[in-house]
Amino acid sequence: MTYRKLTDDEIALLEDNNCRADDWESVNVSDDFNPAYLRDVAFYGEVNLGDFDRNIEISPGFLKHSGIYRATLRNVTVGDNCLIEHVNNYINNYTIGDNCYISNVATIETIEGTTYGQGNIISAGSPSGESNLMLFTRLNSQLAALMVKYSHDKELHTTLRKLIKDDVDAQQPERGTIGEGAKIVNTVEITNSILGDYCEVNGACRLSDVTIMGTADTSVFIGTGVICENSVIGDGASLLNHAIVQDCLIGEECKISNGFTAAESVIFANSCLSKGEATNAFCLPFTTSHHKNSRLTGYVTGLYNIGDNDFEQCSALRLLPYSSLIRQGNNTFLAPGAYITTAAHYRNIRQWARRGMQIKSASGSIVNTAWLSPFTVNQIAKARQTLENLHEISGKDAPYYSFNGLIIRHDDLLKGIQNYDMAMHIYMGTMFKNIYKYDPELDETTGNAGQGEWDNLAGLLLPFSEERQITEDIKDGSLESIDAILRRFDEMNAEYSDFQRVWNCQFTLNYYQLTRLTPTDISMIHDDFLKARQAWTNEIRQDAEREYQENKINRETLEALSAQLDRETDNEN
């Protein structure tokens, strides 16, 4: 925008409205500036003012004319059609976008040397407490996981920190900014902070050294009593009801509320945390906690409902996934794979996919919600083999088996083997049904890309060999920028289906002890899939009926789940 100097008549009118300036020559205005809408304003330093020619909506259906009333401004640029009123202290060194509403605030200020919470190095997900993560606006869960997992690789860390610093330096404004359409009311202090477009801050205590993202479609809300310091807040996130956030990254569409305290943590997309606390925590997408006594620390799995008795227990056991724990007296009993056939698990499978609504920004975290994938199926296969070995070594007729200090009943062990087999048959059958549905002649058994071990890189499922290649490409300069690294993550996610087909074919050959797949083999795999799928849905129905009998769900929920299972069974057949 181009500005002009005030005319003598405009200065006279401003002074009549009880406005004053340290130097009127330092006050610049737009061509259509109207001084009638400024009263009781003090100007210091260089101030640039836009137009004040229309109303803005300060609350649904409540319009007020733009202008500035009872405020002190120093080195401030104000966009067109803003309403700024009742600034009890001052606004200093800030750029304010168009159509903003600022009312009943104490101080908004930028102090020289700020980084707006970016470039801040914290310790998250590290058992040793080592500072391993550098916060910035484009840190997604994959890049953060890479930094935590390979914290021992000094060359990788040095390279990544340089790339991040370059990225931060390239986008840092000279002073704090408040984006277009932002709304700041009843707030005590905002210092050294960037507020994105259409951000709303209502009743916050303090925002200090913070970068808040946001667009018209993904606005951020900061509510009553919130304290946020040295942090980055992602698109669409909300901090509510006295939440305290210090030295953190809060990802896209996260909700932190009801006194939750987070320190030196990264909390990624779609997480919902209330009442408890997180310290040095690495929370993957879809982490959920609503319990006052919950404390998150270290590396927390994604798709995780902390405090939900079933889901928490099943997520905790890495060697025998989808298992349940039962405490009886002084003993803890393990039921391997028991969670696979529960109605709670089926509901989670469906709800996590529906919740995958995070913003698809350039740095948005990738979240693959598939419960059966090369990563999980490989874990399941290893768990099944562990149970087979335990059964063989400890005796096939033993009433109990000991595993890592836990007790497994004989029948539970056999049921675990059965459930793991069921899951593998469902996975193999689903994959081949999708492959051969479109091209029955397709030979998917060739090629190496996708074979071997897989990893879950904070929501991105990929072959471990590809993950290692990313680290090498960062170190040798092939991936020369943060943009290039994020694009590589997107490319890996786009190739997931191709990688998965190769892995599934090799896994199926090994499982059935075949050297190649014939039409007869495919038919057998499909028959095994239908049997496993039917057995799985039958057990889910039985578990849902048990929940209904125990008054855990109502009749409507039971019937809806049963109808959904019927539809899926019809589609599979």
Q: Answer yes or no: are the C-beta atoms of 226 and 243 closer than 8 Å.
A: yes
pLDDT digits (tens, 9 = 90+) for 153-174: 999 999 999 999 999 999 899 9
Q: Is the pLDDT of residue 462 over 70?
A: yes
- Pick from 66, 82, 109: which residue ends a domain? 109
For the stretch 473-498, pLDDT in tens is: 999 999 999 999 999 999 999 999 99
**Are both 22 and 121 inside the same structural domain?**
no
- Which single residue is written with the structure tokens 């769900």? 553
* Predicted local confidence at residue 303, as pLDDT: 61
DSSP 261-306: EEEEEEE-TT-EEESSEEEEEEE-TTEEE--TT-EEEEEE-SSEEE
Please tell me the predicted confidence (pLDDT) of residue 455: 94
* Residue 71 pLDDT exceeds 70: yes
262 close to 277: Cβ distance less than 8 angstroms: yes
State the chain's mean pLDDT as an integer.
90
Q: In total, how many domains does the chain have? A: 3
Read off the pLDDT band of 129 (50, 70, 90): low
- How does DSSP classify residue 340? G
User: How confident is the model at residue 78, as a pLDDT?
Assistant: 98
With 0.95 as the threshold, say if the pTM is over it: no
Asked if pLDDT for residue 357 goes beyond 60, the answer is no
Tell me, yes or no, whether 325 and 301 share the same domain: no
User: Which range of residues forms the domain containing residue 382?
Assistant: 310-573
Query: Stretch 200-228: mean pLDDT, rounded?
Result: 97
Which range, 32-36, 304-308, 344-348, has the best average confidence (pLDDT)?
Answer: 32-36
CA 276 to chain centre: 18
Domain at 135, CATH number = 2.160.10
pLDDT digits (tens, 9 = 90+) for 392-416: 999 999 999 999 889 999 999 999 9
Last residue of a domain, one of 109, 125, 160: 109
What pLDDT, on a 0 to 100 scale, did the predictor assign at position 443?
A: 55
The vertex-59 CA angle with 56 and 63, nearest 5°, equals 35
174 with 296, same domain? yes
**CA-CA distance, 187 to 205, in Å (whole number)?**
6
pLDDT of residue 127 exceeding 90 = no
Same domain, yes or no: 349 and 495: yes
Greater model confidence, 76 or 287: 76
Q: What angle do CA 43, 48, 53 make, to 5 degrees?
A: 105
> Which residues have CB under 8 Å from 559's CB, separation 6+?
none
Do 385 and 463 reside in the same domain of the chain?
yes
SS3 201: strand
Could you tell me whether strands 331-335 and 277-283 are parallel, antiparallel, or unpaired per DSSP bridges? Answer: unpaired
Shared domain check, 331 and 194: no
The pLDDT score that the predictor gives to residue 447 is: 63
First and final C-alpha spacing in the chain: 64
> Looking at 275, 307, 339, which one is the last position of a domain?
307
For residues 19 and 396, the model is more confident at: 19
pLDDT at position 315 is 38
pLDDT band, residue 316 (cuts 50/70/90): very low
Q: Fill in the amino acid letter for 74.
A: R
Q: Are residues 302 and 317 in the same domain?
A: no
Q: Which residues contact 33 (CB under 8 A, 6 or more apart)?
A: 6, 10, 49, 50, 51, 52
Whether residues 187 and 331 fall in one domain? no
Name residue, tokens 């018209």: 216
- For residues 465 and 339, membership in a common domain is answered with yes
Q: Are residues 337 and 365 in the same domain?
A: yes
pLDDT surpasses 50 at 310: no
Per-residue pLDDT band at 33 (split at 50, 70, 90): very high
Q: Note whether 430 and 522 are same-domain residues.
A: yes
Confidence of residue 529 (pLDDT cuts 50, 70, 90): very high
pLDDT of residue 473: 98
Q: Provide the β-strand partners of residue 328.
A: 331
pLDDT number for residue 573: 57
Is the same domain home to 94 and 159? no
Pick from 283-287, 441-445, 543-547 the range whose average pLDDT is largest.
543-547
Each residue's pLDDT tens digit, 249-259: 999 999 999 99
pLDDT range class, residue 309, cuts 50, 70, 90: very low
Q: Are strands 38-49 and 206-212 parallel, antiparallel or unpaired?
A: unpaired
Name the pairing type of β-strands 55-59 and 62-65: antiparallel
From 209, 204, 239, select the one nearest 135 (Cα to Cα).
209
> Would you place residue 300 in the very low, low, confident or very high pLDDT band (cuts 50, 70, 90)?
low
Helix (H, G, I), strand (E, B) or coil at 457: strand
Q: In the prediction, which pLDDT does 361 show? A: 45
